[in-house]
Structure 1
Amino acid sequence: MPSRRPRDPLSAGAVTMAEVAREAGVSRATVSRVLSGSAEVAPERRDRILAAIDALGYIPSAGAQQLAGGRSRSIGLLIRDSRNPTYGLLHSEVQRRADEAGLEVITAMPTSYRGAPHEMDALRRLLALRVGGLLVATGVVRTADLTQFAPVLPVVSVGRPEDDPAVYGVSYDETGNGHAIARALHDHGHRRVAVVCPPTEHSLAESLRGRTVTAVLRELGCEVVEVPTTQFGTAADGTDRVIDLARDGVVTAAMFSSDLRMLDFVSRARGVGVEVPRDLAVIGCDGVMHGLEYMGLASLRVPVEEVARRSVEVIAQMMADRESVGIRHETYTGQLLPGASLGP
């Protein structure tokens, strides 16, 4: 078979399946069977078809193959900005587990500061690509908005609080995490604490963490100063308020709903002469960032790997036989990472 220069697969003159069939001297149906992995094609014909594909530079259409097979093997993943180490690790672990399960991941990652409407647009784009299931790993889209997709295809809420009976949830146990953080602060002798976290519309997970820490500390007899963040996706939000509280001696410790918020505070506070833990003890949450232990920063490590593994396992089961998978809300508790930043 003569060697040919492949055409640009994105050009108007891209190679078609019909051309591959003519080159190999077979029908289009035979080419389709080879592309779908069918064992019904004779080895000699298969070799001719593969040689024609290579010679012509044919790029199969994943969407067309999925429609022909009657079932998509791709899953859509909606995730927050992976500059956040927690989302970056989750993205990597979902991809790894999907590879092991023979699934293709199509990722939508909206700009982190643009909010829920843009994330909903991203979900609709994933649906337009005919994915076979959705993994929603962002704390911004409301659960009520996810339920509209549940009748259409399998949906799994990943790493975010979930209690809707129509949506399967594989989540971090933010209530348990909040309890662990609050008790760590209390056990280190802190009775006046600032709690920095965003509202629900900015992050479901971080908001629940903060609200739980606040409630538990108050149950333990502590005074709590709530420091709400008002800017979407901005780690520095609330930092100046906490610095003022520390300088005035109003609080002895601060809980930050993410490690990024804690790290930003430590950096900015040091620049104005407020030292951790001399002037203020701190603890964060996420715990996946490398180097926290060397900096002596306390945090709570969320079980990203376990949540990713289980999420892919569930979506694969639902895609194979949705009726056999009942809706559940699974939660996985993290592990406290003690550090000198909590004080003696």
Structure 2
Amino acid sequence: MTRSDRARKRPTMKDVAQHAGVSVSTVSYVLNDSGPVAPERRSRVLDAVRVLEYTPNESARNLKLRSTSTIGMVVPELTNPFFAMVAEGVQKVASERNVLVVLVVPDATQQPEEKQAELLRSQRIDGVVYLSGTGSMPASLYRLARSGPVVLVDEQLSGMDLPAVVCDSRKGAREVAAHALEQGHRRVAVIGGPPSLWTSQQRLAGYREAFAGAGLDPDSVPVFPGDYRQATGEKLAAKALASRPRPTVLLCTNDLMAIGAMEYCRRVGLRVPEDVSIVGFDDLPVSALLTPRLTTVRQPAHEMGSRAASALFDLLENDESEALGVLPATVQLRESVCPPAEGT
């Protein structure tokens, strides 16, 4: 049995309550000696604890006993507005509970995630919200996950059974690509995200599904991997649009790279969308203010952060959470996409 299997099968307070035939609050009263419980019920609870080998969540105890608790959040960078909005969602929920948030931003410190995670692990924190910038999890943070909850946001890590709050990126990408294809585009190029990230893989998979559904060979569409930064979008747009015949639409896997692509087109005299249609992903606030306004896919960044924080607190207090899950991605149709010009 792997470490993740053991973590998944660790008995919860709810399991104890079901085994003993009592309510979860009764189990809490017995374990914390915080309320009256009949001797016969107390005995059943203690028997269930022994049989199930249940161990109380010490992080939850600390959360309830200390006047001020602390959680950590790891986010790749804050120059990307999407990451910042996720962090704001986490902060909002934490502040409502009088909980401090220790923010770790590896890109800002120029230190690797492993070193930052080790520093975070050394602090007295109750749990962590983790937004990966690498598609992997530092060993020190994984060790932390064995003693307290770690909730992923906007990412799933291969081979790790960790709770996550994500967006249905695949469906959103499929729908926005289908819209571009319905406009008549067949010369398509993709400006992708980091290949190691689950979000990048999901968006590319969604595009490819749309290509296949429209009778376009997915393998014929060139993909230019990027890093979700605006400058990279500009650089990759130059590469993509140097192809002959030139693509009539660029599918960018985030808004920042789409904005970079639009800037490149402006600089070289290509009109958007008359000469080149451009699609983004995230629906940053600025996307509706551009000229032309950007067709994109909306991810509810603030809600993703708040749901991840709520899930973290639920796991600390109850060992389970209803806040986890997949949030919808919604296509925002705007003026950066139109049918290709005749003869192109």
Same fold (TM over 0.5): yes
The structural deviation recorded for 1:258 is 0.8
Which residue is equivalent to 2:270? 274
| Superposition pairs of residues 112-191 of structure 1, within 5 angstroms | 118-142=112-136, 147-161=142-156, 166-191=161-186
Moved more, 140-149 or 263-272: 140-149
Percent identity at matched positions?
A: 21
Relative contact order, higher structure (CA 8 A, sep 6+):
2
Asked if structure 1 preserves the Cα contact closer than 8 Å seen for 2:191 and 2:233, the reply is: no
Which residue is equivalent to 1:9? none
The structural deviation recorded for 1:315 is 0.5
The structural deviation recorded for 1:230 is 5.6
Specify whether residues 328 and 310 from structure 1 end up closer, same or farther in structure 2 by C-alpha distance, changes over 3 A only: closer
TM-score normalised to the size of structure 1?
Answer: 0.70
Asked if structure 1 preserves the Cα contact closer than 8 Å seen for 2:63 and 2:69, the reply is: no
| Superposition pairs of residues 227-238 of structure 1, within 5 angstroms | 227-229=223-225, 234-238=232-236
Of 308, 325, 334, which residue of structure 2 is paired with 1:311?
A: 308
Asked if structure 1 preserves the Cα contact closer than 8 Å seen for 2:310 and 2:323, the reply is: no
Counterparts of 1:126 and 1:270 in 2: how far apart (Å)? 43
TM-score normalised to the size of structure 2?
Answer: 0.70
Counterparts of 1:287 and 1:335 in 2: how far apart (Å)? 9
| Superposition pairs of residues 214-225 of structure 1, within 5 angstroms | 214-223=208-217, 224-225=220-221
Which residue is equivalent to 1:299? 296
Moved more, 181-190 or 100-109: 181-190
Asked if structure 2 preserves the Cα contact closer than 8 Å seen for 1:178 and 1:210, the reply is: yes
Counterparts of 1:273 and 1:267 in 2: how far apart (Å)? 10
SS of structure 1 residue aligned to 2:87? helix
Which residue is equivalent to 1:264? 260
Counterparts of 2:165 and 2:63 in 1: how far apart (Å)? 29
Specify whether residues 155 and 187 from structure 1 end up closer, same or farther in structure 2 by C-alpha distance, changes over 3 A only: same
Encode CA deviations 1:239-265: one digit per residue, 9 max, x unaligned. 2112213xx334221100111111111
Counterparts of 1:297 and 1:230 in 2: how far apart (Å)? 19
Q: Superposition RMSD on alpha carbons, in Å?
A: 2.9
Counterparts of 2:68 and 2:281 in 1: how far apart (Å)? 37
The structural deviation recorded for 1:327 is 9.8
Of 100, 110, 114, which residue of structure 2 is paired with 1:104?
A: 100
Of 73, 77, 93, which residue of structure 1 is paired with 2:89?
A: 93
Which residue is equivalent to 2:280? 284
The structural deviation recorded for 1:147 is 4.3
Structure 1 residue 80 corresponds to structure 2 residue 69: no
Encode CA deviations 1:21-48: one digit per residue, 9 max, x unaligned. xxxxxxxxxxxxxxxxxxxxxxxxxxxx
Structure 1 residue 321 corresponds to structure 2 residue 318: yes
> Unaligned 5+ residue runs, structure 2?
1-61, 340-344
SS of structure 1 residue aligned to 2:210? helix
Which residue is equivalent to 1:211? 205
The structural deviation recorded for 1:137 is 1.4
Counterparts of 1:102 and 1:334 in 2: how far apart (Å)? 31
SS of structure 2 residue aligned to 1:263? helix
> Unaligned 5+ residue runs, structure 1?
1-65
Specify whether residues 113 and 243 from structure 1 end up closer, same or farther in structure 2 by C-alpha distance, changes over 3 A only: farther
Which residue is equivalent to 1:331? 326
SS of structure 2 residue aligned to 1:157? strand
Encode CA deviations 1:262-316: one digit per residue, 9 max, x unaligned. 1111111221122211111110001023253552211111011221221111111
SS of structure 2 residue aligned to 1:236? helix
Counterparts of 2:171 and 2:159 in 1: how far apart (Å)? 19
The structural deviation recorded for 1:166 is 2.7
Encode CA deviations 1:207-250: one digit per residue, 9 max, x unaligned. 421232123313321255223226685443422112213xx334
Specify whether residues 163 and 111 from structure 1 end up closer, same or farther in structure 2 by C-alpha distance, changes over 3 A only: closer
Corresponding pairs, count: 272
Encode CA deviations 1:181-226: one digit per residue, 9 max, x unaligned. 222212222222111103333x431342123212331332125522
Which residue is equivalent to 2:22? none
SS of structure 2 residue aligned to 1:89? helix
